Amino acid sequence: MSARNWIDELKDSAGDVQRLESIEKKYEQQFLAARKAVDSVQSDGKTTEDIKALQDNQDDLRFKLMLTAFVAENASDKRDEQMKKDLRLQDKTGQFLILGHHNSGKATLLNTIKDNPVAQYTSTVHANSEELTMGNIKFVTFNLDGGHIQGYTVTSFV
């Protein structure tokens, strides 16, 4: 594909993240094939001109791949920003309540959402709450063990 056709392809796909990712995948496959071809030609002892031509093609595909990935990432970021505005997720607050049976993973769920670690947590001894911020949204989380009286009281009103 000529440079002009490639640029036109990117322009035509400017706002379409899925299409840009598809183009990126196509160039990634072509780049990997070009790299294999260069390695093969080098091991076969071909002429310097042959190797240089394949290396130039590989460099061209690497550039196309990197720029296509950049355009796709930029389009994705713009889409995400627009979604935030459309959903009005700027500076919101909320509450969510984690209820469940004893040892059902409530603290693990909360800590995974909050910190993103995969770890083992001890059982919740007392009901607790804490503030959790995800992006620009603040939540007050309540973790009640289903085996405690507070858990039974809350579930009767929820």
SS3 content of the chain, % helix, strand, coil (to 5): 60, 15, 25
> Does the annotation list 45 as a binding residue?
no
> Does the annotation list 103 as a binding residue?
yes
DSSP assignment, residue 91? S
> Does the annotation list 108 as a binding residue?
yes
For 6-26, letters b (16+ CB in 10 Å) and e give: beebbeebeeebebbbebbee
* Nearest-angstrom CA–CA distance, 37 and 29: 12
Which parts are annotated binding residues for GTP?
A: 103, 105-106, 108
Binding positions: 103, 105-106, 108
